Structure 1
Amino acid sequence: MPSCDHCGSHVSDRFARVFADKQGRLLACPNCSANAGIAEVARRRTRTA
């Protein structure tokens, strides 16, 4: 099962398909960011990584 690369929490395969970047990294999940802002948090974390 995939996990968030930021906090290590497990996420579903479906969540990973939707929110992973082109390299397959998950930089945000419901456990470490607000549900409404997951995509924005992931974009910001990508820029700083």
Structure 2
Amino acid sequence: MNLENFSKEALEQIINKKYNIELIKKGIKDITYIGIAFYKKQLRISYK
């Protein structure tokens, strides 16, 4: 299990599915995208 890859996939999903559209429509320009993957006590975070 590679949590690093899972967190990067989560980040890509946020970008590809354009979850930011509503924020952009409201005039928000500085958006931080965060992908999180965890298993038991392990955690990986990817951001852009």
TM-score (norm: length of structure 2): 0.21
TM-score (norm: length of structure 1): 0.21
RCO higher in 1 or 2 (8 Å CA, sep ≥ 6)? 2
Higher strand proportion, which one?
A: 2
Of the two, which has the highest radius of gyration? 2
